[in-house]
Structure 1
Amino acid sequence: MPVPVNNSIITSLIRNAGLEITAEQIAKIKSYINLLLESNKQVNLTAIVEEEEIWRKHVLDSLLLFCALEIPAGARIIDVGTGAGIPGFILKIYRPDMQLTLLEAQQKKVKFLEKVVARLGLNGVDCLWGRAEEVGQNRNYREKYNLAVARAVAPLITLAEYCLPLVQVGGFMVAYKGPAGEQELAAAEKAINLLGGGETKIWRHQLPEGEEMRILVIIKKEKTTPPAYPRRVGVPAKRPLK
């Protein structure tokens, strides 16, 4: 049985990025990790099963958002293609004031998300089963969020069509990327502008005890997204905007 990661290691890991974490937050994230690993035996939720690596590659990676961008109190956030709830659950546990929507297309994963919400007693979390293309055209969700985040979902040129229609003017889209993030941004610039995006920024951080470079692509929403976008289900992935 793996040795649990002690709190001093976790605190050191988080502080390496310039953040602070409380014992209560650590305990809640550990509870989430236990649920993740337990459910991973039945549903494919994560390829990373060592707890210390989960803290480094999933938890710390998720929290980098708070180094890169100031998130207002009570912000409405949607995690697009959330999968197992990463980064959404980590962001919510760290900042419980935020209102979170977890959008996932696979119903079995949505059931896991609902189980986490119930077990951890999280308030202000909506687990939404659906496709980003359809949700982005739904007036209950379209341009309703201060921030849309996505991690390991699709190339940025496709991801922008999933996320930007959900963000209100003045809000942001943040894509968690690896080293290829800069090239993806260069290829997506015209599409981002078409979808209402404006100023873009690249934020970088190297994860400790490894060579992995993490990049956050930050896009400000400056104009309303044209009504034609997002296009119907499957089209953004098959025929990315040029």
Structure 2
Amino acid sequence: MDGADAVPVESAPDPAAATLPPELAEAARALFGERLDLAAAYAELLATEGVVRGLIGPREAPRLWDRHLLNCAVVAERIPEGASVIDVGSGAGLPGLVLAIARPDLTVTLVEPLARRVSFLIEAVQRLGLTRSVRVFRGRAEEAAAGSRDRDPLAADIVTARAVAALDRLAAWCLPLTVPGGRLLALKGASATDEISEHTEAVVRLGGGTPELHRCGTGVVEPATTVVEVVRERVVNPPRAKKPKRSRGGRNRGGRNRDR
């Protein structure tokens, strides 16, 4: 192996980093149940291939269970039985793959535009045996919502996003993927309350209801996961493109005479 392909010593993956800490075992069993071994296999994938491919930082590997897997799994309490889920900007599969592992009743679509992340997601879905309930879409949220000649637009009961963008941009991308009456679940950090105050008007203008803040996993994980929830109350059509103005000589700004 030459130097270009070698993994730096300080970034070398450590499978042992994915080991479930004893103090988190009870919470993990409560959230994953009989599929805890599957969650452990995913944690090992993140700690090895995820690190090698730059999807997970080496310093994050020892904190996979508390900061990532359990943090995402508790969001399942906001998702109804048998729901369809779209995970926007899925990255390494957080929270989409975690939810698919914790909740086998869900059907999950992972939306991700970057090729190296999509490659990892496809391999992870196959290695974890989740091909029946999880699919991977390469593209942006706008492309998924718009559809194409050979593909129908995507839509789901629940749309999730974790550390993707501020709430106003997130609503613009995610609400079109949410069925009317469905919900956007945005996993947020300390800025959640400020974002709600700042962006509620924009969210409502985009067809969403007033954003609500929820703490998921209270009494199970510490700290609880902060989720901003937005119901899609109205379908808002995208603004029409403006027609080019015509000059006095009867020509538009493109230089063509419309009367010809």
For structure 1, the residue ranges without an aligned partner over 5 or more in a row are 230-242
Q: Indicate if the aligned counterparts of 2:209 and 2:230 stay in contact, CA closer than 8 A.
A: yes
Distance apart, 1:3 and its partner CA = 6.6
Q: Which residue of 1 aligns with 2:25?
A: 11
Question: In the alignment, which of 84, 89, 97 is matched to residue 89 of structure 1?
Answer: 97
**Number of corresponding residues:** 221
Question: In the alignment, which of 111, 117, 135 is matched to residue 126 of structure 1?
Answer: 135
Instruction: Describe the shift of the 1:179–1:165 C-alpha distance in structure 2 as closer, same or farther (beyond 3 A).
Output: same
Q: Indicate if the aligned counterparts of 2:82 and 2:107 stay in contact, CA closer than 8 A.
A: yes
Question: In the alignment, which of 54, 57, 75 is matched to residue 47 of structure 1?
Answer: 57
Instruction: Describe the shift of the 1:103–1:228 C-alpha distance in structure 2 as closer, same or farther (beyond 3 A).
Output: farther
Q: Percent identity?
A: 33
Q: CA RMSD in A?
A: 2.6
Instruction: Describe the shift of the 1:183–1:9 C-alpha distance in structure 2 as closer, same or farther (beyond 3 A).
Output: same
1:70-89 residue pairs with structure 2 within 5 A? 71-89=79-97
User: What CA distance in whole angstroms lies between the structure 2 residues aligned with 1:223 and 1:3?
Assistant: 45
TM-score by length of 2: 0.76
Instruction: Describe the shift of the 1:4–1:194 C-alpha distance in structure 2 as closer, same or farther (beyond 3 A).
Output: closer
Distance apart, 1:156 and its partner CA = 1.1
Distance apart, 1:73 and its partner CA = 2.5
Q: Deviations over 1:123-165 (max 9, x none)?
A: 22110100112222227235x2100000011111111111111
Q: Which residue of 1 aligns with 2:6?
A: none
1:148-227 residue pairs with structure 2 within 5 A? 148-204=159-215, 214-227=225-238
For structure 2, the residue ranges without an aligned partner over 5 or more in a row are 1-13, 241-260
Q: Which residue of 1 aligns with 2:145?
A: 136
Instruction: Describe the shift of the 1:220–1:125 C-alpha distance in structure 2 as closer, same or farther (beyond 3 A).
Output: same
TM-score by length of 1: 0.81
User: What CA distance in whole angstroms lies between the structure 2 residues aligned with 1:211 and 1:13?
Assistant: 10
Q: Which protein is bigger by CA-based radius of gyration?
A: 2
Matched, 1:100 2:76: no
Distance apart, 1:72 and its partner CA = 2.6
Deviates more, 1:158-167 or 1:37-46: 37-46
Q: Indicate if the aligned counterparts of 2:20 and 2:40 stay in contact, CA closer than 8 A.
A: no
Question: In the alignment, which of 56, 63, 68 is matched to residue 58 of structure 1?
Answer: 68
Question: In the alignment, which of 95, 116, 121 is matched to residue 124 of structure 2?
Answer: 116
